[in-house]
Structure formats: structure tokens, C-alpha cells
Structure 1
């Protein structure tokens, strides 16, 4: 029997403070706090390690979870990975929703970067109180022609070319071409 993944059940990250994290996500991203449980022993490994595990509704049966681990060393990040790489991307309905989210975040004193035009989607970026980079994004339905250019053959060609050269192939240079041209003109 073979299997296929149906969807992500939940994604879990570490947090500094469970209560602060719940309050931040409910206040800033309007996410519902849906579940919490705490134990003094890890169920899978049986290690003694007290934790609080919280779950937030990210819409459409998607769940974002966090662990507070008070007996572990202070939380850090991979210093060899730039801060822009590792992030949590959450989709919103459209540009108006993204603009409303940006306004709400800025009114709550959250520093927001963007709107960044990625050609096929548009995004804003900011950090949660735990240092996790968050992206809010919406798909640009007018960019369907651009998406159509990325065919099954091209994605594998691109992967093979990247594997050989470790430099960006030109296949999808059109995605940000207009944005880079506009910056050169300014």
C-alpha cells in the first residue's frame, strides 16, 4: 500500500512564553486559541521535560502550535541561516485583507516590511515576540499567465540547473524583473 499526505495537521515551533504568544497571535493576527495541554514528561520519548503546548487556528483546518520549555536552555536560532529564510507563511484572502492586516500590525507597534511583489503573490513580513519571521501573503489571480509559464518540465530543469551551478537559473527571472527595473530607474 502506498500513501499520500492529505494536509499538514499542525506545525510546531518553540516559544519563550505561551501566554504572551497566545495573546500576540490573537491580538495581531486574529487567530483563535483552540487548545492547550501541559505535561511533565514527553509522551514519545518518556523524557522528564515539562512543557506547555498551545494550538492556534490558522484557518481551513490548519493549526500553528508552540511549545514553551521552561527547563531547557534559552531559545536560539540557527545563526548560519539568514533571518529571512526560515519563516511561517500564512495566506490571506486578497490585497485589501493584506492591507488591513498591515494596518492592524502597525497600529499594534509591529514593524512590517512590504508589501513585496513576488509576481505570483504579494507579501508582508514581520517578527512575532519569539523571533519567528511571519509572512502574510495573498495569491495574485491576475498573474495566472506567469504561473502557467512554470510547467512541470521547467521546475525540474530549474532544479537540475541549480544543482549543477548553485546559481539562479533564468527560467523565472520574469517574476521580479519589473520590480528590479523600477528600482534601477529611481
Structure 2
């Protein structure tokens, strides 16, 4: 039986490794912990120089990026809305979320939110690579989280046959 402990790292592409390291340090106080550079991809043996950077996202979580200068410029899947693919990071509480928004805005970052998702609130913004970031603060009770877990399989089953949003958890966005 496979026993997953946590994410080892999640990796995305970046336009410029140094700019990315500097931005994440300045905006989100994330430290660079590891940099790996090779002229050949270890897994495929392809000759493709890269810089792979690893940033400390707290509590053992790692956010990583690859700069691959010999590939065509970065793009995104134009068939997927910008709000879909994002990196969500957790902050301690709602006060920390509001403080983070104020700090980001003071540094010139355009921030959306806080948005109330019923059991957490979030703010949204973009990094210099065009990746959408979310900072989230949990606010749900143990009972609310248990109810969401209970109805999740029912919702997925209903969605799989109807492709219409099930209403089992509609209460999440009926609040403030």
C-alpha cells in the first residue's frame, strides 16, 4: 500500500530563475533552499540545460521552478481559464490574510479579494511568470469540514452524470 506523507515539491516553469527567487523572497518571504543546474536532463538524458530552484513554502512544503532557456517562450493553455490553474498557499488566519494583502498592495501587486469560500477566505494575484497565486486562511469548523467530506463523493458522482453543479455544499457561498 502506498503511504503518501506530503508533497516533496511541486514544480512549475519560470521565465527567469533569479527574478523568480527574488520575487518570492520579496513578496512572500520564501527562502531559496536548493538550486540544481544541469546540461542534461537526468531522467531522459536529453541535452537541455536548465536551472531548477526550490523555495521553502513553510512546514516542509517546497515550491520549485525550472528555467529552461533553450525552449520556446513560456505560454499557457489558452483553453483553460486563468483562474483554474493556481498555486494556493495557506496563511495562519484571516488577520494574516488581510495583512498579506495590504503588504502585497503596498509593493505594487494587484490583489483580488478576500473572497469568502465558506470554510476559508482567499486573496489572488499573479507572480512575474504569470502563475496565479492564492493565499488562503481556513475558517471552517470541524463540523463543516466533516460535512464537506461526507458529501464530496456524492457530489462527484452526481457531477459525473449531469455536469450540473450539485447543491450539497451550496451553503459555502451563501454566506457573507
Fold conserved (TM > 0.5)?
A: yes
In the other structure, the counterpart of 1:171 is 168
Aligned equivalents of 1:144, 1:116: Cα separation in 2 = 21
- The alpha-carbon deviation at position 151 of structure 1 amounts to 4.0
The aligned residue for residue 115 of structure 2 is: 116
C-alpha distance in structure 1 between counterparts of 2:147 and 2:10, whole Å:
31
- In structure 1, stretches of 5+ residues that fail to align are 180-186
- TM-score between the two structures when normalised by the length of structure 1: 0.91
Deviation at 1:119, TM superposition (A): 0.4
Kindly report which structure 2 residues correspond to 1:2-151, keeping only aligned pairs within 5 A, or say none: 2-141=1-140, 143-151=141-149
In structure 1, distance between residues paired with 2:23 and 2:137: 22
Displacement of 1:104: 1.1
What TM-score results when the alignment is normalised by the length of structure 2? 0.97
Partner Cα distance (1:148, 1:11) in 2: 27
- Whole-angstrom distance in 1 between the partners of 2:144 and 2:135: 21
**Conservation of the 8 A alpha-carbon contact between 1:146 and 1:175:** no
Q: CA RMSD in A?
A: 1.1
SS in 2 for 1:48: coil
In the alignment, structure 2 segments of 5+ residues that lack a partner are none
8 Å CA contact 1:115, 1:123 repeated in 2: yes
CA apart distance, 1:178: 2.6
Question: What is the DSSP-based 3-state SS (H/G/I as helix, E as strand, rest coil) of the residue aligned with 1:149?
Answer: helix
* Distance in 1 of aligned mates of 2:50 and 2:37: 5
